[in-house]
């Protein structure tokens, strides 16, 4: 069967303005959270992504009414009549685990299977299940099915061994309608958690301290619907900045929140890029060439985000000097490195460390995206490379970027999505 690929002709500096899309990692948990509200919620600035379509399909299968029009998603979540997520949906999208807390909160039961694949190495759900247990859920595993039941969720004191984003969100969502108070310590502090809590609080939830490591949730009887605008996607903003930098161009990223991107902007500044920062936009002029960065460690927020690691590596593949990455969040998150080698990069992987010796130029090649951000990284490399790159595996990129090729072209890039 014919497959769609991106053909990228590199070497042209990207220049111009782009408006950043809404954050996938905020929109997905928020869509799941609508299940907790009585009535119809409206979410604006939801990007058109295959993951959003997958979340909408799950909502509709559960008996909710979810409708997508342009970047607005309308969900009547309270018409939910099922509590089982089919295996095919669980496999399709890793974030399907975000439905666990809301379905339990609403229905008192949830049946699911392990979320899909192992794109970034093993992605266990043990902490999701353990925290739900602490809130009164009994869990039985029957073959591949995980059956969760609660006779009324109750608040609990929960300390996370690691500040997992998804687990923090599931606990917060489940706790909104639970009996009593939940105190979550060592919670993740990602901006998307603040966004989710702001949405839920607007629906009448009582969540205090989101964005800090201790979050307190006082359970309420019910939540009412609201309209809410999803925050901008900081990883997509970083992608456009890195693409402009890799091509030796300049860019204005509109609608971004630089306050949520300190670690990324500081890395690009170390690489020699120059910035003008306003609260809702970022101007950047690339360094030519960029400078290597000695020490990039991925960490929970506010540390350097694991989701930006591949994208920055693509840029630093042509930096002057040697850059060193340490990946501390996921086990197998260097799959893009092998593809970058095909484009002439010099990268050595030693366990969780990647050593990137900058080369003067990359060249076009046939490469394959093996995960979402790794795929975006290959496109970043391709716009700075000499000659044509053919990028396969677009289904990964479509999970997280709306109109990927269109944005490059609006900046003067030469990117075509064609049948191969």
Q: Which residues are catalytic?
A: 118
The answer to whether 306 contacts ligand UD1 (rule: CB under 6 A) is yes
Which range touches ligand UD1 (CB under 6 A), out of 223-231, 261-269, 301-309, 311-319?
Answer: 301-309
| Minimum distance, C-beta of residue 333 to ligand UD1, in the bound complex (Å) | 8
Q: Which of 285, 334, 326 is nearest to 304 (CA)?
A: 326
CB 60 within 8 A of CB 19: no
Among 329, 362, 383, 391, interactor with ligand UD1 by CB under 6 A: 329
Q: Which residue is nearest to ligand UD1 (CB)?
A: 166
CB 242 within 8 A of CB 39: no
Considering only residues 140 to 179 of the shown chain, the ones binding ligand UD1 according to CB under 6 A are 162, 164-167
CB 317 within 8 A of CB 381: yes
Cβ closest to ligand UD1, residue 5 vs residue 402: 402
Question: Would residue 387 be called left, alpha or beta, if left means φ above 0 and alpha means ψ between -120 and 50 degrees?
Answer: left
By CB atoms closer than 10 A (0-12, 13-18, 19+), residue 89 is buried
SS3 271: coil
Which range touches ligand UD1 (CB under 6 A), out of 2-10, 122-130, 144-152, 271-279?
Answer: 122-130
Cβ closest to ligand UD1, residue 162 vs residue 208: 162
CA distance 66 to 83: 16
| Minimum distance, C-beta of residue 168 to ligand UD1, in the bound complex (Å) | 8
CB 361 within 8 A of CB 386: yes
Pairing between β-strand 250-254 and β-strand 15-19 as defined by DSSP bridges: parallel
Q: Which of 40, 84, 32 is nearest to 61 (CA)?
A: 84
Cβ closest to ligand UD1, residue 10 vs residue 101: 101
| Minimum distance, C-beta of residue 307 to ligand UD1, in the bound complex (Å) | 5
Q: Which of 38, 85, 41, 39 is nearest to 59 (CA)?
A: 85
Cβ closest to ligand UD1, residue 123 vs residue 357: 123
The answer to whether 360 contacts ligand UD1 (rule: CB under 6 A) is no
| Minimum distance, C-beta of residue 267 to ligand UD1, in the bound complex (Å) | 16
The answer to whether 123 contacts ligand UD1 (rule: CB under 6 A) is yes
Considering only residues 11 to 30 of the shown chain, the ones binding ligand UD1 according to CB under 6 A are 25, 28
Which range touches ligand UD1 (CB under 6 A), out of 126-134, 172-180, 223-231, 279-287?
Answer: 126-134
Instruction: Please confirm whether the linkage preceding 289 is cis (ω < 30° from 0).
Output: yes
Helix ranges (H only) for 118-215 are 126-134, 165-176, 191-202
| Minimum distance, C-beta of residue 299 to ligand UD1, in the bound complex (Å) | 9
In eight-state DSSP terms, residue 96 is: G
Q: What sign for the dihedral angle of Cα 316, 233, 339, 419?
A: negative
Among 330, 334, 401, 404, interactor with ligand UD1 by CB under 6 A: 330
Which range touches ligand UD1 (CB under 6 A), out of 4-12, 118-126, 273-281, 356-364?
Answer: 118-126
Cβ closest to ligand UD1, residue 30 vs residue 383: 30
Among 124, 143, 279, 360, interactor with ligand UD1 by CB under 6 A: 124
CA distance 96 to 54: 9
CB 47 within 8 A of CB 407: no
Pairing between β-strand 366-368 and β-strand 388-392 as defined by DSSP bridges: parallel
The answer to whether 297 contacts ligand UD1 (rule: CB under 6 A) is no
Count of alpha carbons within 13 Å of 288, Cβ hemisphere only? 9
SS3 389: strand
Cβ closest to ligand UD1, residue 325 vs residue 330: 330
| Minimum distance, C-beta of residue 352 to ligand UD1, in the bound complex (Å) | 11
The answer to whether 126 contacts ligand UD1 (rule: CB under 6 A) is yes
Cβ closest to ligand UD1, residue 49 vs residue 319: 49
What residues line the site for ligand UD1 (CB under 6 A)? 25, 28, 95, 123-128, 162, 164-167, 188, 192, 305-307, 329-330
């Amino acid at each position: 069967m014919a497959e769609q690929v991106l053909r990228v002709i590199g070497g042209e500096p990207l220049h111009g303005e782009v408006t950043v899309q809404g954050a996938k990692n905020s929109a997905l948990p928020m869509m799941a959270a609508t299940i907790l509200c009585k009535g119809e919620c409206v979410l604006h600035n939801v990007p058109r992504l295959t993951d959003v379509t997958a979340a909408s399909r799950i909502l509709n299968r559960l008996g909710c009414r979810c409708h997508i029009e342009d970047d607005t998603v309308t969900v009547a979540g309270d018409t939910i009549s099922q509590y089982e997520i089919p295996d095919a949906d669980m496999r399709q999208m890793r974030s399907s685990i975000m439905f666990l807390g809301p379905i339990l909160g609403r229905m008192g039961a949830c049946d699911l299977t392990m979320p899909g694949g192992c794109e970034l190495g093993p992605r266990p759900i043990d902490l999701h299940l353990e925290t739900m247990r602490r809130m009164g859920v009994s869990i039985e595993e029957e073959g591949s099915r995980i059956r969760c039941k609660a006779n009324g969720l109750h608040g609990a004191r929960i300390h996370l061994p690691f500040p997992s984003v998804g687990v923090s969100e599931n606990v917060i969502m489940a706790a909104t309608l639970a009996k009593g108070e939940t105190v979550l310590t060592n919670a993740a502090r990602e901006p998307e958690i603040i966004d989710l809590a702001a949405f839920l609080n607007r629906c009448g939830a009582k969540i205090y301290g989101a964005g800090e490591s201790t979050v307190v949730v006082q359970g309420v009887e019910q939540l009412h619907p609201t309209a809410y605008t999803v925050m901008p996607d900081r990883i997509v903003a970083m992608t456009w900045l890195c693409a402009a930098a890799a091509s030796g161009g300049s860019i204005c990223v509109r609608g971004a929140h630089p306050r949520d991107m300190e670690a990324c902007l500081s890395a690009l500044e170390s690489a020699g890029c120059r910035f003008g920062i306003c609260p809702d936009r970022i101007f950047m002029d690339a360094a030519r060439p960029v400078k290597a960065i000695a020490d990039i460690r991925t960490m929970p927020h506010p540390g350097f985000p694991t989701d930006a690691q591949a994208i920055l590596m693509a840029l630093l593949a042509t930096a002057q000097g040697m850059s060193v990455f340490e990946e501390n969040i996921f086990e197998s998150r260097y799959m893009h490195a092998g593809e970058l080698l095909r484009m002439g990069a010099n990268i050595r992987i030693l366990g969780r460390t990647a050593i990137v010796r900058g080369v003067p130029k990359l060249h076009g090649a046939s490469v394959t995206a093996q995960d979402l951000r790794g795929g975006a990284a290959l496109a970043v490399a391709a716009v700075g490379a000499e000659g044509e790159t053919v990028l396969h595996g677009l289904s990964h990129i479509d999970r997280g970027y709306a109109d990927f090729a269109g944005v490059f072209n609006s900046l003067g890039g030469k990117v075509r999505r064609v049948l191969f």
